Amino acid sequence: MEKFFHLAAAKTSVRQELIAGLTTFLAMIYIVPVNANIMSIAGMPFDALVTATALITIIATLFNGLFANTPVALSVGMGLNAYFTFALCVDAKMPWQSALGIVAISGALFTVLSFTNFRVWVIKSIPLDLRRAISAGIGAFICFIGLKQMGVIAPSQATLVTLGNLKDLNVLLGILGLAVVLVLFVLRIKAAFILSILITSCVAWVAGISPAPHGIVSAPSGITPIFAKLDIPGALKLAFVPFIITFFVTHLFDSIGTLTGVGNRAGLFGENSKDGMKKLSRNLTSDAIGSVAGAVIGTSTVTAFAESASGVEAGGRTGLTAVFCAIFFVLTLFMLPLFKAIPANAIYPILVMVGVLMFSELGKIDYGDAGILIPAFFIVFLMPFTYSITNGLSFGFIAYIVVRLAQRRIKDLNFGVLTLGAISVLVFLMH
């Protein structure tokens, strides 16, 4: 393991990578039932989707760990699966088979570009302070998701969002979990995230807030109804080109945003490091190939998961973290009843804590430069407010270009930034 993953050079150990892999797994296990629920609305069988989601998560994450040697887990992208279901299958009344064909085509385009320096060049073109803002923005986004899922934040017709029902036992459980993880983190206990989940779960089971697990093993459902059912010829229609472009552009920004944010926290992709750029390129290749494989298995676009940041904060630094995460996901094929017994509000406080840690990147930004201050503001606030990493990035890049032009600092507008600005405009035109 040492020779393959270079653990000593990354200042980590097998034990530390194991803890990080388990932490990432627990932070993103929700994707299995949630994705199955969303995509089943498109007319696909729920049971088969549960197995397909678990399988593509295992395959893509394992491949990335071995190929890119980074602690980044991959699975079906949230947001893109909703676009797949509601925009394509529900609104446009497209058969889910053709929608899978669109996913495969956009993934194939992404894969072709992965053999060029296009995506690495894009990321290196982004000013360092904007990359820090991206990390902080993803932190705010993750924190918002966590608080919303915990019930601490609730929707309001008058103020859009408001404080949740603090009399609800599940909300109080989430607040307890957040308090536990905060205390354990402040006490510098390395397994703070895992211990917080276990302690909160036990409290929920003993207090009767959440049912204790009654089963352990369940046979996985087959994926025959959705496996290799993608209809590529049916997707190759002129009317479907905007859908292909939207999947491609959104995938590009989601992967760049997530990898930039997570990588910045772990120091994975040093811009002056040949090894760092190699890892970044391979990581991008992994999610491109994963999307094509996902379409064949029967899922929407596969991408790097922001929840990988939880594993990074737990000490994960190499691909061994991803390998362990993939192995743990095998359990969802056979032991889903047990893992579903872990109450959601024992997991979401971890996302809030990760968001806090990623938000700290704002402290390193040069706020004396309006060309950084203004786009950084929009990136950080629009990611959670629009519930989209892509929207925050797009608005930030456009704002950066506008401010630099106003400052007459044309030299700061490299071709990469201008390309991102053009793509950003395209994102809003295609919205």
pLDDT tens per residue, the chain (431 residues)?
777 888 888 888 999 999 999 999 988 888 888 888 889 889 999 889 989 999 999 999 999 999 999 999 999 987 788 888 887 898 889 999 999 999 999 999 888 887 777 766 766 778 888 888 887 888 888 888 889 889 999 988 889 899 999 999 999 999 999 999 999 989 988 667 878 888 999 999 999 998 888 877 788 889 999 999 999 999 988 878 878 877 887 787 778 778 877 877 667 776 556 677 778 888 888 989 999 999 999 999 999 988 898 899 888 989 999 999 999 999 899 877 776 678 889 888 888 888 888 888 888 898 999 999 999 999 999 988 887 777 888 899 999 999 999 999 988 898 888 888 888 887 787 66
Helices (H), 335-386: 336-340, 344-359, 370-385
Instruction: Locate 208 and state its tokens.
Output: 């009767």
Residue 15 carries which side chain, given as an amino acid letter? R
Task: Please give the structure tokens belonging to residue 127.
Answer: 């000013």
Contacts for 194-201 with beta carbons within 8 Å, 24 or more apart?
194/19, 194/22, 194/23, 194/26, 194/314, 196/346, 196/349, 196/350, 197/26, 197/342, 197/346, 197/347, 197/350, 200/173, 200/176, 200/343, 200/345, 200/346, 200/349, 201/341, 201/342, 201/343, 201/346
Q: What is the pLDDT of residue 190?
A: 63
Q: What is the DSSP letter of 87?
A: I
CA proximity to 133, closest of 260, 251, 276: 260
Q: Which residues contact residue 244 at a Cβ distance below 8 angstroms, ignoring those fewer than 6 apart? A: 102, 105, 106, 109, 235
Query: What is the rounded radius of gyration, in angstroms, for the C-alpha atoms of the chain?
Result: 21
d(CA 294, CA 300): 6
**Tokens at residue 262, please?**
């997570």
Query: CB of 218 within 8 A of CB of 89?
Result: no
Name 116's Cβ contacts closer than 8 Å, sequence gap at least 6. none
What ranges do the domains of the chain cover? 7-364, 366-430
Tokens of 369: 């430069």
Q: How many angstroms separate the CA atoms of 341 and 3, rounded?
A: 38
Q: If you search the block for the tokens 């530390």, which residue do you land on? A: 16
36 with 49: CB under 8 angstroms? yes
Find tokens 């803890």 and name the residue.
19
- C-alpha angle 141-114-105 in degrees, rounded to nearest 5: 85
Helix (H, G, I), strand (E, B) or coil at 289: helix
Q: What is the largest CA-CA distance in the chain?
A: 66
Strand partners, 161: 155
pLDDT score recorded for residue 431: 61
